[in-house]
Amino acid sequence: MSDISENPYVRGIEHVTLAEDRRSVRILDQTQLPGREVYKDVSTPEACFDAIRKLEVRGAPCIGIFAGYAMVVLAQPYIDMNAVDFRVKMREIAAYLNSSRPTAVNLSWALGRMEAVIADHFNDGVPTILDCMARESLAIHEEDRAMCRRIAEYGLSLINDGDGILTHCNAGPLATSEYGTALGPILLGSEQGMSFHVFADETRPLLQGARLTAYELTKAGVDVTLICDNMASLVMKNGWVQACFVGCDRVAANGDFANKIGTSGVAVLARYYGIPFYTLGPTSTIDMSCATGDDIRIELRDPEEIRSLWYREAMALPETKCYNPAFDVTDHELVTAIVTDRGIVYPPFDVNLKKLFA
Ligand code: MRU
């Protein structure tokens, strides 16, 4: 086994960082992976919006971390404003960033935390508010590291050495701060000398499974096999999958959850083949104000992602109608358990998720 503890992808590369002068956020542009590791500095509202919208930063927890840093950077030009005008300006900026992608709750959650800091320190003057915002943004990042580590530990208790695990999309270190959520148990177990066979759905249409999950696991020395999304049924039927681990973008109070489009299909297949199906996510991804999955807004994306984006020439006529939802909702009845940083939650989810926050 390769010495994966040496590998930065297991521990989490610093793929989102706040510049020391707080004038920009440095991101690893995930749209360029796996071919190129390109970092870019973003410092304007439009660049921050685009970074989220275009998936340069992506994955629910990572979007939240980025949003915290972005608020700090975008506040800097207003350091000389009075607190009243400053708060109005920051509300505008938060609303703008929040409109970049609707489904992952971590975005509005992190923006809400930053706005709460402004309210709490309103009378202390803008320079102090700015210092507190910077501290809060770093805390969001640090807390995510700790939550991912605990999710990895809980998740590891659900699998055995040698297991085959199927995952969909990317819920690894790149989607979070470190370890990831769905990939956390696999990376942690590998660090401890266990071995797993991971089947990574390529994840149409944006290929996060192929471009990011297979990349992260390969770099970490984990045995990963890339499959097209429509091959999941066969590998399950062959008996090669002992558990499904997927991430989540928003978990409703009844246990329904949104995740990358195609996740609900994996859950249906897992039920048919009697394979446990887990979603793993930090408590920051649970939205108790959302009663069921019907209340989750699903992002619709550009048809060109289906027609032409990945091909040398377009694979459909320009006039071909496309439907391109970025996420779907998995019904809680198909979920074996929700693995969080505060423990493993089993059905009935409406009762047990409430206990988690009690
Ligand atoms: O569109 P993306 O790439 O942001 O979608 C990401 C997912 O669906 C992940 O599974 C989810 O955000 C969980 S990340 C820990």
Helices 45-53/83-98 angle, 10° precision? 30
User: Is residue 259 within 6 Å of ligand 1 at its C-beta?
Assistant: yes
Ligand 1 centroid–CA 237 distance in Å is: 26
Report how far residue 225's alpha carbon sits from residue 351's, in angstroms, rounded to the nearest whole number.
37
Which is the closest atom of ligand 1 to the Cα of 176? Answer: 15
Which is the closest atom of ligand 1 to the Cα of 180? Answer: 15
| Mean pLDDT computed over 58-71 | 98
% of the chain at pLDDT higher than 90:
96
Ligand 1 centroid–CA 282 distance in Å is: 13
Which is the closest atom of ligand 1 to the Cα of 258? Answer: 8
Ligand 1 centroid–CA 283 distance in Å is: 15
| CA 265 to each of CA 154, 257, 277: distance values in angstroms, whole numbers, following the listed order | 25, 13, 11
Query: Which DSSP letter does residue 88 get?
Result: H
Which of 170, 264, 279, 338 has most ligand 1 atoms within 8 Å of its beta carbon, as the pocket-test mutant?
Answer: 170
Ligand 1 centroid–CA 104 distance in Å is: 8
The residue annotated as part of the active site, out of 29, 144, 163, 249, is: 249
Ligand 1 centroid–CA 250 distance in Å is: 10
User: Is residue 260 within 6 Å of ligand 1 at its C-beta?
Assistant: yes
Report how far residue 30's alpha carbon sits from residue 309's, in angstroms, rounded to the nearest whole number.
15
Structure tokens at 295: 């209340």
Place of tokens 């649970």: 286
User: Is residue 106 within 6 Å of ligand 1 at its C-beta?
Assistant: no
| Residues sharing a CB contact under 8 Å with residue 29, sequence separation 6 or more, in sequence order | 38, 39, 40, 56
Give the strand pairing for 286-287 and 277-280.
Answer: unpaired
Which of 106, 208, 211, 229 has most ligand 1 atoms within 8 Å of its beta carbon, as the pocket-test mutant?
Answer: 208
- What per-residue confidence (pLDDT) applies to 151? 98
Ligand 1 centroid–CA 184 distance in Å is: 14
Asked if the model's pLDDT at residue 7 lies above 80, the reply is no
Nearest CA to ligand 1 atom 10: 247
**Nearest by Cα to 289 from 331, 254, 253:** 253
Asked if the model's pLDDT at residue 134 lies above 90, the reply is yes
Which of 33, 62, 145, 259 has most ligand 1 atoms within 8 Å of its beta carbon, as the pocket-test mutant?
Answer: 259
Asked if the model's pLDDT at residue 251 lies above 80, the reply is yes
Ligand 1 centroid–CA 4 distance in Å is: 24
Query: Which DSSP letter does residue 308 get?
Result: T
- What per-residue confidence (pLDDT) applies to 4? 36
User: Is residue 247 within 6 Å of ligand 1 at its C-beta?
Assistant: yes
pLDDT digits (tens, 9 = 90+) for 192-216: 999 999 999 999 999 999 999 999 9
Which of 168, 249, 263, 324 has most ligand 1 atoms within 8 Å of its beta carbon, as the pocket-test mutant?
Answer: 249
Strand order in the sheet with 25-28: 16-18, 25-28, 39-42
The better pLDDT of the pair 10, 15 is held by 15
Which is the closest atom of ligand 1 to the Cα of 259? Answer: 8
Asked if the model's pLDDT at residue 1 lies above 50, the reply is no
User: Is residue 263 within 6 Å of ligand 1 at its C-beta?
Assistant: no
pLDDT digits (tens, 9 = 90+) for 167-187: 999 999 999 998 999 999 999
Q: How confident is the model at residue 14 (pLDDT cuts 50, 70, 90)?
A: confident
Q: Positive or negative CA dihedral for 327, 27, 314, 203?
A: negative
Which is the closest atom of ligand 1 to the Cα of 172? Answer: 15
pLDDT digits (tens, 9 = 90+) for 261-304: 999 999 999 999 999 999 999 999 999 999 999 999 999 999 99
Helices 126-156/60-75 angle, 10° precision? 170
Report how far residue 314's alpha carbon sits from residue 309's, in angstroms, rounded to the nearest whole number.
8
| Mean pLDDT computed over 232-237 | 98
| Residues sharing a CB contact under 8 Å with residue 97, sequence separation 6 or more, in sequence order | 45, 48, 49, 52, 67, 70, 71, 107, 111
| Residues sharing a CB contact under 8 Å with residue 133, sequence separation 6 or more, in sequence order | 71, 72, 75, 114, 117, 118
- What per-residue confidence (pLDDT) applies to 216? 96
Q: How far is CA 168 from the centre of its chain?
A: 12
The answer to whether 302 is a known catalytic residue is no
From the CB of residue 234, how many other CB atoms can be counted at a distance below 10 Å? 11
User: Is residue 279 within 6 Å of ligand 1 at its C-beta?
Assistant: no
pLDDT digits (tens, 9 = 90+) for 43-62: 999 999 999 999 999 999 99
